[in-house]
């Protein structure tokens, strides 16, 4: 029996975030696609019993769960220093840089470790992370250069950026993500209407994903709505209402928008999220830099026309399935966003084309495909 051990710690982090969701979806697909005589086990830091139960409930079919002697923070520090004895050996896949990277012999003892680098924000946008996270990330990337047998990145854009930062040779593999199985509309239209009514969704609106962190460019989008030529529809932002000392209501007010024109929504279930995105007239993803286009692919999957920035990872994921907006000249970015959104709103032929091409494009991104490629990656090492 061949066993693939997956580091699952992000699933029980205080804020699991996108990497936590990535870990869960990928591991579920790894279990479903496991070749004959192969199984999947988990590695997790010392945590309360209810955390272990949550992982096991989320991942039916998981072989077993190996717990380390150290809690999460101490484990991250220990692995940063190369103290990885508690993780055991064998075939290990880390859905992030949190991995037991140490000297090993892939031929003599069969040990192998693959890590995942989702973006290069620690170098390009360090202000988006805490100083501790920036320092830890840079140390772990250096450890990956020394000890990782493979490095997974979500896009060719990240692969190119990473190549300018550190030489990983031929160990980089591009394996993107997919759309979670839970992101689907209710089975009948009445249930959809009930959710829309409960969430107080307008009949027509624009939806975006992000925070007020400058890199996400939600402020530029809100500014676009306040321009004389801005879209005359409500804006729903899927994300928190505040970032640091900034809050969505204040930014909207400064843009000259009336109270309630911009609304933040968070904490939605997958089904609610599907309803919000699918009923929007346009989905906007204005982010200035991303490692992968996960939210965009969700919108493609749900048949919503997409407007996005020309960030390399977004262009790569979109192909011609979305309407790209140039990021250069930050002062003019809101005006270009407004023009792009208005173009989709007023050109029914364009909007319909984006729906059709986007739905087709979404089929290129599945967790099953990602998992199968991870199995092949480890088989080829």
Supply the pLDDT for residue 109: 73
Please give the model's pTM, rounded to 2 decimal places.
0.94
Percent of the chain with pLDDT over 90: 93
Q: CB–CB of 281/205 below 8 Å?
A: yes
Given the DSSP bridges, would you call strands 246-247 and 242-243 parallel, antiparallel or unpaired?
A: antiparallel
Across residues 355-360, what is the average pLDDT? 98
Task: Quote the CA–CA distance of 231 and 235 in Å, as a whole number.
Answer: 9
- pLDDT tens digit sequence for 305-340: 999 999 999 999 999 999 999 999 999 999 999 999
Percent of the chain with pLDDT over 70: 98
Across residues 162-168, what is the average pLDDT? 97
Whether the pLDDT of residue 345 is over 90: the answer is: yes
Supply the pLDDT for residue 381: 86
The closest of 296, 285, 291 to 325, measured between CA atoms, is 285
Contacts of 105 (CB under 8 A, 6+ apart): 111
C-alpha radius of gyration, the chain, whole number: 21
Q: CB–CB of 354/306 below 8 Å?
A: yes
Whether the pLDDT of residue 358 is over 90: the answer is: yes
Mean of pLDDT over the chain: 95
Task: Quote the CA–CA distance of 251 and 262 in Å, as a whole number.
Answer: 9
Across residues 28-38, what is the average pLDDT? 96
- pLDDT tens digit sequence for 84-141: 665 656 899 999 999 999 888 777 777 899 999 999 999 999 999 999 999 999 999 9
The sheet with strand 112-116 has its strands ordered as 65-67, 38-44, 2-7, 91-93, 112-116, 150-153, 172-174
Supply the pLDDT for residue 87: 61
Tell me the torsion sign for CA atoms 250, 277, 159, 371: positive
Across residues 196-205, what is the average pLDDT? 97
Task: Quote the CA–CA distance of 340 and 345 in Å, as a whole number.
Answer: 9
Q: Which tokens go with 154?
A: 């979500």
Residue 215 has φ and ψ, to the nearest 5°, of -60, -30
Q: Where are the beta strands (DSSP E) in 205-298?
A: 206-209, 235-238, 242-243, 246-247, 262-265, 282-285
Supply the pLDDT for residue 111: 86
């Amino acid at each position: 029996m061949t066993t693939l051990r997956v580091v699952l710690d992000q699933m029980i982090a205080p804020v699991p975030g996108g990497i936590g969701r990535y870990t869960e979806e990928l591991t579920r697909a790894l279990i479903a696609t496991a070749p004959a005589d192969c199984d999947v086990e988990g590695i997790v830091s010392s945590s309360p019993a209810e955390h272990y139960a949550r992982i096991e409930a989320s991942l039916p079919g998981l072989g077993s769960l190996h717990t380390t002697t150290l809690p999460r923070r101490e484990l991250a520090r220990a692995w940063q220093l190369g103290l990885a004895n508690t993780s055991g050996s064998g075939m290990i896949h880390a859905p992030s840089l949190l991995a037991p990277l140490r000297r090993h012999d892939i031929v003599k003892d069969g040990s192998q470790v693959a890590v995942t680098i989702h973006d290069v924000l620690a170098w390009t946008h360090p202000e988006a992370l805490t100083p501790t996270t920036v320092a830890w990330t840079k140390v772990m990337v250096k450890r990956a250069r020394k000890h990782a047998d493979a490095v997974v990145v979500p896009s060719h854009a990240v692969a190119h950026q990473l190549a300018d930062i550190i030489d990983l040779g031929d160990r980089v593999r591009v394996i993107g993500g997919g759309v979670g199985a839970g992101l689907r509309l209710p089975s009948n239209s009445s249930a959809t209407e009930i959710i829309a009514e409960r969430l107080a969704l307008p009949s027509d609106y624009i939806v975006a994903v992000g925070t007020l962190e400058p890199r996400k460019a939600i402020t530029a989008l809100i500014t676009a709505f306040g321009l004389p030529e801005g879209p005359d529809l409500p804006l729903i932002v899927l994300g928190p209402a505040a970032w640091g000392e900034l809050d969505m209501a204040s930014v909207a007010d400064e843009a000259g928008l009336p109270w309630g024109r911009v609304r933040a929504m968070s904490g939605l279930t997958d089904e609610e999220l599907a309803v919000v995105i699918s009923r929007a007239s346009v989905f906007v993803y204005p982010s200035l830099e991303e490692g992968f286009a996960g939210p965009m692919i969700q919108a493609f999957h749900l048949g919503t026309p997409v407007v996005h920035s020309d960030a390399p990872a977004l262009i790569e994921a979109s192909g011609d399935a979305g309407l790209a907006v140039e990021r250069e000249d930050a002062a003019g970015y809101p005006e270009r966003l407004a023009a792009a959104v208005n173009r989709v709103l007023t050109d029914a032929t364009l909007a319909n084309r984006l729906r059709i091409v986007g739905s087709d494009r979404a089929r290129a991104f599945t967790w099953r495909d990602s998992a199968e490629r991870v199995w092949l990656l480890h088989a080829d090492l």
